[in-house]
Amino acid sequence: MSANFTRDLEQNFAVVEQTLADARAAGARLVVFPEASIGGYLSSLGNHGDTAGAGPRSLPPAVRLDGPEIARVQALAGDTVVVIGFCELGEDGVTRYNAAVCLDGTRVYGSYRKVHQPLGEGASYAAGGGYEAFDTPVGRLGMQICYDKAFPEAARVLALDGAEIIVSLSAWPAARTATAQNLQEDRWTYRFNLFDSARALDNQVFWIASNQSGTFGSLRYVANSKVVDPGGNVLATTLLGAGLAVAEIDVEGTFRAMRAGMFHLRDRRPDAYGPVTALASPTTVRREHAHA
């Protein structure tokens, strides 16, 4: 789904409640909210604003995974599986993470802390350390946040861990320079959509992308929340608007059909991929090969 989330927690929860009501009316069993749905995202990126250390007043509220805010989402979720983004307060009571949680009214199935941080985001959040899939009533699921989708390895790790559905939560903005007059044609909108289809097809998984819409601070979000099938086909999308992208999927049947012939995970050649996991930079790897 696409919507606008700010520092106003009551507004955030009102959107969550209404969205879940609309989703249930449409028959949805899984609802994915955007990155930073509880408390909003940073108001800017780059060497200014939040990411330049403007102070805690500019940052979203940090909440605990076992705190009242997440419990409130659970109370609204009922028997619907919900994935939602928030700013997590770490175990030390100080460290902040850009995080997501998957839950329903009775259980927390998994949580995730964003690994890849763009444009100075590391000044406001600590980075997470890995990816793990987990079982839910709607299938085995993995989570990513925003910039993670630019890294094929991130989705591949989840696919190798058995993920059938990968959810990608974002607060993905338009380009900061030379923004297209039609936001749907903006180069960052194009990349957002291309990554979604590519990651689904790379790993033959269902991919659900949820992105913020509207504006917050200096950021103008591109929305384009969507459901993508394992062939990279977009089944439903919000385009630039707020609201739900709803699609009915058959996880077991689709996987059986898609993987009966070409099966990308089965046909991998890990022995040929050494540089992918090398700790050195790509430039260093190239130089080492040149002198080998």
**Percent with pLDDT over 90 in the chain:** 82
pLDDT at position 290, please? 54
What b/e sequence results for 94-126 when a residue is b if at least 16 CB atoms lie within 10 Å of its CB, and e otherwise? eebbbbbbbbbeeeebbbbbbbbbeebbeebbb
Note the pLDDT tens digit of each residue in 89-132: 999 999 999 999 999 999 999 999 999 999 889 999 999 999 99
- Identify the sign of the CA torsion 80, 63, 171, 15: positive
Residues in contact with 15: Cβ distance below 8 Å, sequence separation at least 6, in sequence order: 3, 4, 5, 37
What number of other Cβ atoms are within 10 A of residue 289's Cβ? 9
Query: What does the CA dihedral 111, 150, 154, 158 come to, rounded to 10 degrees?
Result: 70
Note the pLDDT tens digit of each residue in 249-275: 999 999 888 888 889 999 999 999 988
Place of tokens 């790379």: 202
pLDDT at position 289, please? 54
pLDDT at position 279, please? 77
Note the pLDDT tens digit of each residue in 141-191: 999 999 999 999 999 999 999 999 999 999 999 998 888 989 999 999 999
At residue 155, what are phi and psi to the nearest 5 degrees? -70, -35
Place of tokens 């009571």: 93
Place of tokens 């394992």: 230
pLDDT band at 54 (very low <50, low <70, confident <90, very high): very low
DSSP secondary structure code for residue 126 in this structure: B
pLDDT at position 55, please? 47
Token pair recorded at residue 180: 């297209």
pLDDT band at 3 (very low <50, low <70, confident <90, very high): very high
* DSSP string over 103-117: E-SS-EEEEEE----
Nearest 5°: the CA angle 195, 129, 231 is 25
- Identify the sign of the CA torsion 112, 199, 173, 281: positive
| 186-208: average pLDDT | 97
pLDDT at position 139, please? 96
Which residue in 113, 185, 190, 115 sits closest to 147, CA to CA?
A: 115
Token pair recorded at residue 205: 């998984």
Q: Is 26 exposed, middle or buried (0-12, 13-18, 19+ CB in 10 A)?
A: exposed
Token pair recorded at residue 107: 């259980």
Q: Is the pLDDT of residue 88 over 80?
A: yes
**How is the beta sheet containing 81-89 ordered, strand by strand?**
30-32, 81-89, 96-103, 108-113
Token pair recorded at residue 146: 């925003």
Give pTM, 2 decimals: 0.92
- Taking the C-alpha atoms of residue 159 and residue 269, their distance in angstroms, rounded to an integer, is 15
Token pair recorded at residue 13: 């929860």
pLDDT at position 262, please? 87
Coil, strand or helix: which one is 15? helix
